[in-house]
Structure 1
Amino acid sequence: AVLAVILFPRLRRLLVTPNLGLQLVRSLLLLVTTGLYFTGLKYVPIAEASAIMMLAPLVVTALSVPLLKERVGPRRWAGVVIGFAGAMIIIRPGGDAMQLAALLPLVAAATHGVYQVSTRFLSHSESVLTTLCYSALLGAMIMSTAVPFYWTPLPALGWGMLLCAGMFGTLGHFALIKAFTLAPAATVAPFTYTNLIWAAASGFLFFGEWPDVWTFVGAAVIVGSGIYIYHREKVVKRREP
Structure 2
Amino acid sequence: MAPRIPDGVAWLLADMTLVTGMTVLVKLSGATIPAMQLVFLRAAVGLGLILPWVWARRADLFAMHQPARNAFRVGCNAVALSSNFLALTALPLVMVNAIGYLRPIVTVLLAVALLGEKVSRARWIGSVGIACGVIIAVGPDLRGTAGRDIDATGLVAAVVSVLFGSLAVVQTRALRRESPTVMMLFYTLGLTVLTAGPAAAVWQPLSAADWPIVLAIGALGQAGQYCFLRAYRRQEAAVLAPVSYASILFAAAAGWLFFGDRPSAHLMGGTVVILGCLLWAWRHEQGSAST
Aligned length: 238
2:190 counterpart residue number: 138
Extract unaligned runs of 5+ from structure 1.
none
* CA deviations over 1:25-74 (Å, ceiling 9, x no partner): 11111111111122112332223312211111111221222322221111
Residue 34 of structure 1: which of 73, 77, 81 is its match? 81
* CA deviations over 1:96-140 (Å, ceiling 9, x no partner): 4575443432332222222111111111x2122322221111001
> Are residue 177 (structure 1) and residue 222 (structure 2) matched?
no
Go from structure 1 to structure 2 and tell me whether the alpha carbon gap of 1:209 and 1:63 turns closer, same or farther (over 3 Å shift): same
Letter aligned with residue 139 of structure 2: R
Aligned residue runs from structure 1 range 81-96, under 5 A: 81-92=128-139, 95-96=143-144
2:112 counterpart residue number: 65
Higher RCO (C-alpha 8 Å, min separation 6):
2
Residue 257 of structure 2: which of 205, 213, 216 is its match? 205
Letter aligned with residue 220 of structure 2: F
Q: Secondary structure at the match of 2:64?
A: coil
> Are residue 229 (structure 1) and residue 281 (structure 2) matched?
yes
2:5 counterpart residue number: none
Go from structure 1 to structure 2 and tell me whether the alpha carbon gap of 1:218 and 1:103 turns closer, same or farther (over 3 Å shift): farther
Residue pair 1:58, 1:81 contacting (<8 A) in 2 also: no
Separation (CA, whole Å) in 2 of partners of 1:204 and 1:156: 28
Separation (CA, whole Å) in 2 of partners of 1:203 and 1:26: 30
Extract unaligned runs of 5+ from structure 2.
1-46
The more displaced of 50-59 and 140-149 is 140-149
Deviation at 1:226, TM superposition (A): 2.8
Go from structure 1 to structure 2 and tell me whether the alpha carbon gap of 1:121 and 1:195 turns closer, same or farther (over 3 Å shift): same
2:60 counterpart residue number: 13
Go from structure 1 to structure 2 and tell me whether the alpha carbon gap of 1:37 and 1:69 turns closer, same or farther (over 3 Å shift): same
Residue pair 1:47, 1:203 contacting (<8 A) in 2 also: no
Q: Secondary structure at the match of 1:92?
A: helix
Go from structure 1 to structure 2 and tell me whether the alpha carbon gap of 1:183 and 1:232 turns closer, same or farther (over 3 Å shift): farther
Deviation at 1:236, TM superposition (A): 4.1
Separation (CA, whole Å) in 2 of partners of 1:5 and 1:140: 17
Deviation at 1:158, TM superposition (A): 2.3
Residue pair 2:122, 2:285 contacting (<8 A) in 1 also: no
Separation (CA, whole Å) in 1 of partners of 2:66 and 2:86: 30
Deviation at 1:145, TM superposition (A): 2.5
2:100 counterpart residue number: 53
Deviation at 1:189, TM superposition (A): 0.9
TM-score in terms of structure 2 length: 0.72
TM-score in terms of structure 1 length: 0.86
Residue pair 1:47, 1:200 contacting (<8 A) in 2 also: no
The more displaced of 196-205 and 87-96 is 87-96
Q: Percent identity?
A: 26
